[in-house]
Chains A and B, each alone.
Chain A
């Protein structure tokens, strides 16, 4: 593994993160002392085979799940020191999410889904920014549609638009293309890439797909709850090769 980039500001990091499920005999250590940092305005990927703890790491870093030991930070804020209510507000104000499936509230229109986090916070969306995001995502003519009237790709684009619309400090994406065909998936990834390049957005994506990782600036590799590697400017080929070495 190679280079360390010049240190840009860190958007999120984990210190000695441990997550244990179950007790005694059934104990599973999903995270086994992970240290990781994700820089601002970059597109980072967490990679690993299923069961490696990559999703757990993301959930804990995003304040969706709590750690058994260690600390996670968003900016300077220690998530482990926050109450449930403070965590909720933090998610609302500073974090955007894109999930693999079931991203949208079925009874709300696309536009209502996009502005949902801001409405929850009682904020009025910045109209110019909203227009910009919507146009960029190419959904301008679909805004009044309900999720079940949109294709899978369109639904994911609405999810990405929602994550972008409130201008969070960081977006966590959990296998955002996992349920899409490769062409639609590529569109979404390209779109996220542009969000980082053009809008300066910070994105952390969990994936097991080398092609998806190829769109990012940096990838870290998790195996059995520990970080086993890291790669700057990954391409689908380099990631694929790296994964092959792990298999050996």
Chain B
């Protein structure tokens, strides 16, 4: 107990240091908590939205969904409702139609796009309990009329009684706005970022679903009716291929759909929070190592007076727990309002609800505690264990340094190495990326502990060695992408730990080399250089946090610049078309109306127009029962617009029964040009296709299957598709300007779309890649800032430790300014050391990532040297910044006090 009290006193006696030590963990916890709170809030909101979307009925009838999801399911025939009306207990039968990408154009020719999806529905006039509530005007009743939700109307200043163009799969529809409505709640529109257009049911079937039927049919029951009986009765009257489900099932499906997106969002944000926590744990490790070093005499005295090694360890662990609890409590307290802040930022960008709550759930608190306290203790446990080996004799001498005390023990070492190897093997055997990642990290620790018992040097190399092996496996092995990325992540994580062991071996010469130019500046800088070199362990671990931050920034920069280079290459090599029109590539509103391509095809200025659409989960290959997505386009035209790199082809097979396959899939399924393959579609009908070509290029169709658009046109029972992009070739003798003028006449009807030349398209994509890069890099820079804080703490501690020495130097005539410069130069040396290591590691992992990421994303390596140099210079400046306060402290020391400083 006393030692716990001692731990608390150590904390309270230096509140500033305690706070700075906690700060990095605190930021990490705050971010993690805010991510949890934010996503819980989004879940609540979208959970509520799911309930709203599926409101106003009790039972739904729809096509069975053999694979894929509801959006791609087959439609329901329009004669089904009459079968259901006579069922006992059914109060109302309401067919529903829903389609994404339905965008009204404003009078000034702009598209009224939503932050969320633009959705078209039918006005549900049969419903017993309405889902759409009339707000003004009247319901649409004929094909020349439509309605808008009140917020969509207000935002783009639509006027009731005016005619507007609406983009639909059937092309531009001109209709009069006859009324507005609210969604799910008569008082308040419950839409979250979406915009809703409504037509009367018959018109909706015609223009939204191409006349193919309803998406589903909902039933409301009489009060007191038996739900199960109605479901059974309905199932009995509808033809096979339709299913009857209670409302709850659809609500849950809807919520699952949303949650999938929210989970991805959460995972991405958590990655950044964990990176910050990783950096934080390195800072904790570093600070505690130094603290233990500084207290050796004190620990020796405690040992002499009868404190057991265990008590010493507990006391230091208690101090870590104190840091962890403080970071957790304050981090959690800050994380909740931070979530609110992010929420209002997102809301101001029209994403998500404005007034979502900030729910602090038990899970969040548990995660915060286990990360905040857990990580701090784990990071401090090594120094704490080392402290236990301090001899009581340390109390009697002032010159003891904490040595490396691993005892040679080949027997135990062998066991540990064996366990480590076993752990990696198990990681591979379990075939699950998370296990592979965790077990590899465990293995690295076991290997280190084991090898260090044979030989100190072997121990130091163990982790970096394992990281290299894992990286090599990732580069050569043929594993799933998730496993490869787990290997890459494990290798990165282990190399960060391993560098901490290894870099002290070369910290001294490297620090001297970095310091060489400074040494010319005079004695103080020479002293700084010697100081940075004389405690390689400390220089190395002070630099390690910055190393991690810069390694990640560098790796991301390498991957992104390779992504850009790949994209530019692909565009040059694989696209031969003159023009491309691409829709919004985010959200469920993929694609745009085929009417655009039809309009373009009429232009004499263009020789050919090729629309390409994507049907997700379109069919399954019967032979291996795999569900596959399909592109569809005019097969014969492909080669004029793209270079798909055909290995073999037969033009005569490029028709409605033809399919084009990537070479890997062809190998998998043993297909050749002319082979027949059976595909089963969502209408559960099997159809035979013949392989018309086998292609090798990954850029245009990933490695997807390509069917002819004629096939889709001929099969009304299959879900309709919108176009993903359209490419065009100029007619002979037509120049760019003339073509552009003609094209823009057509695209005018779709104001959110633009025809771009190849160069324009590349610039456009690079801009959006750059935007993502800016966001990712700024998030990573938080970890870099914290790493700089880590260096500042280390410098402050070493200034404190060298108080006497600084006093002496001052006493023999060094000026304050010289003292300041000495500390500053030391900061620069440490930071540049970390920067060099980080950039080197980042290059290794960035290059490895480019090799590992599938070629259809990144196939060409490009290293952004200028960015790397800027990063290194930034590291140097960061060193000066980190040294600011420690340098001031060193220069302000009172000479006499400093000399008599205990020691």
B213 within 8 A of A: no
**Docked-complex contact B2 and A119, CB < 8 angstroms:** yes
Q: Are A105 and B392 in contact (CB under 8 A)?
A: no
Which residues of chain A are near B398, meaning CB under 8 Å?
102
How many angstroms between the C-alpha atoms of A167 and B2 in the bound complex? 19
Q: Which 10 A-B pairs have the closest CB atoms?
A: A92-B306, A119-B2, A107-B9, A91-B306, A64-B392, A117-B305, A120-B307, A107-B13, A88-B308, A120-B306
**Considering the chains assembled together, what is the distance between the CA atoms of A55 and B397 in angstroms?**
12
Contacts of A112 in B (CB 8 A): 2, 5
B396/A99 in contact, CB under 8 A: yes
Residues of B within 8 A of A107 (CB): 6, 9-10, 13
B304 contacts A by Cβ under 8 Å: yes
User: In the complex, are the beta carbons of B298 and A105 less than 8 A apart?
Assistant: yes
- Counted as pairs of residues, one from A and one from B, with CB atoms less than 8 Å apart, the total is 73
Check A65–B306 contact: CB distance below 8 A. no
Q: Does A22 contact B (CB under 8 A)?
A: no
The distance in angstroms between the C-alpha atoms of A63 and B301, with both chains bound, is: 13
Whether A174 and B396, one on each chain, are in contact in the complex, defined by CB atoms closer than 8 angstroms, is yes
Q: Mark B1-16, 1 if CB is under 8 A from A, else 0.
A: 1110110011001000
Query: Interface range on chain A: under 10, 10 to 19, 20 to 34, or 35 or more?
Result: 20 to 34
Name 5 interchain pairs, CB-CB below 8 A, sorted by A: A92-B305, A97-B305, A102-B297, A116-B2, A120-B2
Interchain CA distance A117-B303 in the complex, whole Å: 10
Q: Are A103 and B308 in contact (CB under 8 A)?
A: no
Whether B902 sits at the interface, judged by CB under 8 Å, is yes
Given A102-B398, A105-B6; 9 other pairs, CB 8 A cutoff: A64-B391, A64-B392, A64-B396, A65-B393, A85-B308, A85-B309, A88-B309, A102-B298, A102-B902
List chain B residues, Cβ under 8 A from A128.
none
Residues B306 and A88 in contact, CB atoms below 8 Å apart: yes
CB distance from B846 to the nearest CB of A (A): 47
Q: Does B493 contact A (CB under 8 A)?
A: no
Q: Contacts of B303 on A, CB cut-off 8 Å? A: 88
A1 lies within 8 A of chain B by Cβ? no
B395 within 8 A of A: yes
Bound Cα distance A121, B13 (Å) = 25
Residue A224, interface by CB 8 Å: no
Q: From residue A190, how far is it (CB to closest CB) to chain B in Å?
A: 24
Chain B hits for A162, CB < 8 A: 305
Is there contact, CB below 8 Å, between B301 and A91? no
Cα A23 to Cα B396 in complex, Å, equals 23
Residue B703 at the chain A interface, CB threshold 8 Å: no
Contacts of B798 on A, CB cut-off 8 Å?
Answer: none
Q: Is A59 in contact with B396, judged by CB distance below 8 angstroms?
A: yes
- Interface residue? B143 (CB, 8 A): no
> Given the complex of chains A and B, what is the CA–CA distance between A44 and B685 in angstroms?
105
Given the known interface contacts A105-B6, A105-B298, the answer about A89 and B304 at a Cβ–Cβ threshold of 8 Å is no
Interface string of A54-90 (1 = CB under 8 A from B): 0100010000110000000000000000001100110
* CA A228 to CA B821, docked complex, whole Å: 56
Contact string, A105-147, partner B, CB cutoff 8 A, digits 1/0? 1111000100011011110000000000000000000000000
In the assembled complex, the CB of A68 is this many whole angstroms from the nearest CB of chain B, namely 15
Q: Which of B352-406 contact A (CB under 8 A)?
A: 391-393, 395-396, 398
Report the minimal beta-carbon distance from B407 to chain A, rounded to whole angstroms. Answer: 13
Give per-residue flags for A160-195: 1 if the beta carbon is below 8 A from chain B beta carbons, else 0.
Answer: 001000000000001000000000000000000000
B92 within 8 A of A: no
Are B306 and A117 within 8 A (Cβ)? yes
Query: Of A64, A89, A122, which is in contact with the most chain B CB atoms at under 10 Å from its CB?
Result: A64
Residue of B nearest to A102 (CB): B297
